[in-house]
Amino acid sequence: KAGVTQTPRYLIKTRGQQVTLSCSPISGHRSVSWYQQTPGQGLQFLFEYFSETQRNKGNFPGRFSGRQFSNSRSEMNVSTLELGDSALYLCASSPGTAGALAKNIQYFGAGTRLSVL
Amino acid sequence: GQQLNQSPQSMFIQEGEDVSMNCTSSSIFNTWLWYKQDPGEGPVLLIALYKAGELTSNGRLTAQFGITRKDSFLNISASIPSDVGIYFCAGRRRIQFYFGTGTSLTVIP
């Protein structure tokens, strides 16, 4: 079955603009998580959506927001872009089950490379 | 958020050598995962581990879920040039995933 699809792959924006990134999860997966990856900072968790509700949130400012649609597709929005927002944004989908025995694995998309000038 | 302690941070090895890396945490996990990331791409899942003590292989890769559930290791045998990349460990506790800081592997032909 198809993997996680992120669009667009590359984006160039200027400071102050806003941007919307899209993620289509693996069919049947109900959870979508977003991560920011910068050199030296590793994977920083932004938020997770499950069944159209934000279930978990990282430590990012309110300029970063997201939503999930009924078909589990998710979008992430960053408003008032800053130079420091330049990063690879990764989306990961998983079944979203929480039990200790659950085979709940995250699969990643190829990412969206955002450059803020 | 919490990150796992992954070591070593980087490795430079000769082609054909074996590689070993590990992740530790002060907390227990229900699942341990190992990913490989190539430049400009998303992490690709290599191995998933679900039970304490579990040992799983995927070709030349072998990973183990630590008995204490607080650690995991990944071994790569007979390394080849295409093994180059960044390897991440991840632990799952309930709905939350925690990631290691990555091990950058360079294979010298």
Mean pLDDT per block of 10 residues along chain B (109 residues) reads 84 97 94 94 95 95 96 97 96 88 94
For chain A, percent of residues with pLDDT exceeding 70: 95
Tokens of B14: 């000769």
Task: Let me know: does B79 contact B18? Beta carbons within 8 Å.
Answer: yes
User: Does the pLDDT value for residue A114 go beyond 80?
Assistant: yes
Q: Are B42 and A100 inside 8 Å of each other by CB?
A: no
Residue B83: which of B65, B102, B66, B108 has the closest Cα? B108
Query: Quick one: average pLDDT of A2-26?
Result: 96
Is B101's Cβ below 8 Å from some Cβ in A?
yes
B29 close to A (CB below 8 A): no
Distance in Å, alpha carbon of A106 to nearest chain B alpha carbon:
8
Give residue B50's pLDDT: 93
Given an 8 Å threshold on Cβ–Cβ distance, is B95 in contact with A50? yes
Nearest CA among A26, A1, A38, A28 for reference residue A91 = A26
A95 falls in which pLDDT band (50, 70, 90)?
A: confident
Residue A47 and residue A66 in contact, taking contact as beta carbons nearer than 8 Å: yes
Contact (CB, 8 A) for A23 and A31: no
Instruction: Provide, as residue numbers in chain B, all residues whose Cβ is less than 8 Å from the Cβ of A103.
Output: 31, 48, 50
Task: Identify the CA nearest to A30 among candidates A75, A88, A109, A92.
Answer: A92
Tokens representing A103 are 């085979």
Q: Tell me which residue in B1, B33, B99 faces A105 most closely, judged by beta carbons.
A: B33
Backbone angles phi, psi at B32, to 5 degrees: -120, 140
Q: Which two tokens stand for residue B64?
A: 């183990």
Q: Mind telling me how many Å the CA of A100 is from chain B's nearest CA? A: 5
Closest by Cβ to B94, choosing from A59, A98, A106: A98
Residue B27 CA: distances (Å) to CA of A37, A46, A91, B24, B36: 24, 21, 25, 9, 23
Cα B93 to the center of its chain, rounded Å: 17
Q: Which of A5-9, A34-38, A42-46, B21-25 has the lowest mean pLDDT?
A: A42-46
Record the tokens describing residue B106, joined without a space.
């360079």
Q: Do B87 and B34 contact (CB within 8 A), yes or no?
A: yes
At A50 the pLDDT is 94
Mean pLDDT of chain A: 93
User: Quick one: pLDDT at residue B93?
Assistant: 85
Q: Is B31 on the interface with A (CB under 8 A)?
A: yes
- Among B1, B40, B48, beta carbon nearest to A58: B1
pLDDT of residue A42: 83
Q: What is the mean pLDDT of residues A30-35?
A: 95
Interface check B40 vs A, CB under 8 A: yes
Cβ–Cβ gap A44/B1 under 8 Å: yes
Nearest-angstrom CA–CA distance, A74 and A48: 10
B101 vs A42: CB contact, 8 Å cut-off? yes
Q: Nearest CA to A67 among A82, A85, A47?
A: A47
